[in-house]
């Protein structure tokens, strides 16, 4: 009888080696730019404090560490992290750290926020607070900037983390936020694929109606700076061949820069499928607030954390240029 192999002896599958050209290019775009000040909220574990220190060493950010100082210094000592060049703002707990970090941004002392070891809801609760937060006239949204091995350029997936069931008005802000981000990343005329389950407009699937409306709004100048097409099923959005088989003529199909998903569930599943089935990396950023907000996860690779910071740096510098172009008075 053949001896059964002990499960403990079975080696886990190895991810294929690949080049990270997409994120390397984003980080390279920051090489000639001045680092931006970043309020790092409650960096009280190895992952979040290491991310801030590494981004500082890469000359992407100048960290302001906001949280319980004793905890932050203990983590730095435990893991051999040099925070001697970082300003530390002492707060008693994570909630106070979120509130204080938002105050620092409102005072003009930081140009971006970076999430540490606290829940996203806790941080975002302070960001969206009516009187003391960082809201603008836009709805706040989230984007993953994906580095997918089988795709030749950055691919943004939005919104996969904040707006659960966005209506048409909210989708306008979500897509405009993503378009403005793409401009900051150097994409002159980003292509937006508006995803649904099918490529035909049908009242039975409300997301197809939203897609058609968004395309018409872009034609009428209500959404600017990009080419939009939809509804598109995922295969038609990503593959020119699949689109051709369906008889779809589109400048977007097969070459999108941005995937606008119908809702958070679809976006979250899509981003995680790309990560775990296609070996993609996902850099996370929150858009539509006064400053870009870097959302990192303990599961992120070093390169994904650096890419998230690089996107925030490019956005911060784009805001500087925009502010400089505005008339004073």
Q: Identify whether the C-beta of residue 72 lies closer than 8 Å to the C-beta of residue 88.
A: yes
What would the pLDDT profile of 202-212 be if each residue is shown by its tens digit? 999 999 999 99
Q: In what order do the strands lie in the sheet with 155-158?
A: 87-90, 61-67, 36-41, 112-115, 293-295, 281-287, 141-147, 155-158, 258-260, 191-195, 227-232
Looking at the domain assignment, is residue 9 inside a domain? no
Same domain, 88 and 143: no
Q: What is the average pLDDT value for the chain, to the nearest integer?
A: 91
Q: What are phi and psi of 149, to 5 degrees?
A: -55, -35
Judged against a pLDDT cut of 50, whether residue 328 lies above it is answered with no
Looking at the domain assignment, is residue 129 inside a domain? yes
Same domain, 142 and 283: yes
Same domain, 117 and 254: no
Nearest residue to 114 (alpha-carbon basis) of 48, 184, 185: 48
Residue 111: band (very low, low, confident or very high) from pLDDT cuts 50, 70, 90: very high
Judged against a pLDDT cut of 70, whether residue 187 lies above it is answered with yes
Report the CATH number at residue 157.
Answer: 3.40.718.10
Same domain, 130 and 141: no
Looking at the domain assignment, is residue 313 inside a domain? no
**Least reliable range by pLDDT among 1-15, 56-70, 163-177:** 1-15
Residue 100, both tokens: 């204080």
Judged against a pLDDT cut of 70, whether residue 86 lies above it is answered with yes
Judged against a pLDDT cut of 60, whether residue 293 lies above it is answered with yes
Domain final residue, candidates 100, 116, 135 = 135
Same domain, 257 and 270: yes
Residue 141: band (very low, low, confident or very high) from pLDDT cuts 50, 70, 90: very high
Looking at the domain assignment, is residue 17 inside a domain? no
Same domain, 142 and 284: yes
Q: What are phi and psi of 311, to 5 degrees?
A: -60, -45
Report the CATH number at residue 120.
Answer: 3.40.50.10950
Same domain, 255 and 140: yes
Looking at the domain assignment, is residue 304 inside a domain? no
Query: CA-to-CA distance for 183 and 177, rounded, in angstroms?
Result: 10
Residue 213: band (very low, low, confident or very high) from pLDDT cuts 50, 70, 90: very high
Same domain, 129 and 156: no
Same domain, 171 and 112: no
Judged against a pLDDT cut of 50, whether residue 274 lies above it is answered with yes
Judged against a pLDDT cut of 90, whether residue 184 lies above it is answered with yes
Looking at the domain assignment, is residue 311 inside a domain? no
Strands 281-287 and 36-41, sheet pairing: unpaired
Q: Identify whether the C-beta of residue 41 lies closer than 8 Å to the C-beta of residue 118.
A: yes
pLDDT in the model for residue 305: 86
Query: CA-to-CA distance for 14 and 154, rounded, in angstroms?
Result: 24
Same domain, 176 and 235: yes
Cα of 181 vs its chain's centroid, Å: 9
Residue 60: band (very low, low, confident or very high) from pLDDT cuts 50, 70, 90: very high
Residue 324: band (very low, low, confident or very high) from pLDDT cuts 50, 70, 90: confident
Same domain, 160 and 263: yes
Same domain, 65 and 186: no
pLDDT in the model for residue 5: 54
Residue 205, both tokens: 């699937």
Domain final residue, candidates 86, 108, 135 = 135
Residue 4: band (very low, low, confident or very high) from pLDDT cuts 50, 70, 90: low
Domain final residue, candidates 135, 159, 186 = 135
pLDDT in the model for residue 125: 94
Looking at the domain assignment, is residue 298 inside a domain? no
Query: CA-to-CA distance for 53 and 37, rounded, in angstroms?
Result: 13
Instruction: Tell me how many domains the chain contains.
Output: 2
Strands 36-41 and 61-67, sheet pairing: parallel
Q: Identify whether the C-beta of residue 100 lies closer than 8 Å to the C-beta of residue 124.
A: no
Half-sphere exposure (CA, 13 Å, Cβ side) for 319?
Answer: 17
What would the pLDDT profile of 298-321 be if each residue is shown by its tens digit? 777 778 888 999 999 999 999 998
pLDDT in the model for residue 302: 78
Strands 141-147 and 155-158, sheet pairing: antiparallel
pTM of the model: 0.89
Looking at the domain assignment, is residue 41 inside a domain? yes
Parent domain of 81: 34-135
């Amino acid at each position: 009888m053949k001896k059964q192999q002990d499960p403990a002896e079975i080696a886990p599958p190895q991810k294929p080696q690949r080049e990270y050209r997409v994120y390397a290019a984003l980080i390279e775009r920051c090489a000639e730019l001045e680092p931006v000040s970043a309020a790092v909220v409650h960096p009280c574990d190895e992952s979040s404090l290491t991310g801030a220190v590494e981004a500082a060493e890469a000359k992407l950010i100048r960290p302001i560490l906001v949280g319980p100082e004793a905890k932050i210094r203990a983590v730095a000592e435990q893991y051999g992290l040099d925070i001697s060049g970082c300003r530390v703002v002492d707060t008693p707990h994570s909630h106070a750290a979120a509130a204080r970090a938002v105050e620092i941004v409102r005072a003009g002392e930081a140009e971006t926020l970076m999430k540490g070891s606290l829940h996203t809801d806790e941080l975002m609760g302070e960001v969206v607070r009516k009187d003391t937060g960082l809201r603008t006239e836009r709805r706040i949204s989230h984007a993953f900037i994906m580095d997918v091995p089988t795709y030749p350029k950055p691919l943004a997936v939005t919104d996969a983390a904040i707006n659960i069931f966005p209506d048409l008005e909210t989708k306008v802000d979500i897509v405009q936020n993503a378009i403005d981000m793409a401009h900051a990343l150097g994409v002159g005329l980003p292509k937006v694929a508006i995803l649904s389950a099918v490529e035909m407009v049908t009242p039975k699937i409300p997301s197809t109606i939203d897609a058609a409306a968004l395309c018409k709004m872009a034609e009428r100048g209500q959404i600017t700076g990009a080419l939009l097409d939809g509804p598109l099923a995922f295969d038609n959005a990503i593959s020119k061949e699949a689109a051709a088989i369906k008889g779809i003529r589109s400048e977007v199909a097969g070459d999108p820069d941005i995937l606008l998903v119908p809702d958070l569930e679809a976006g979250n599943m899509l981003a995680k499928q790309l990560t775990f089935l296609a070996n993609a990396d996902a850099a996370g950023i929150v858009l539509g607030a006064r400053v870009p907000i870097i959302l990192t996860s303990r599961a992120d690779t070093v390169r994904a954390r650096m890419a998230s910071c690089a996107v925030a740096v490019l956005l911060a510098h784009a805001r500087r240029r925009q502010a400089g172009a505005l008339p004073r008075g």
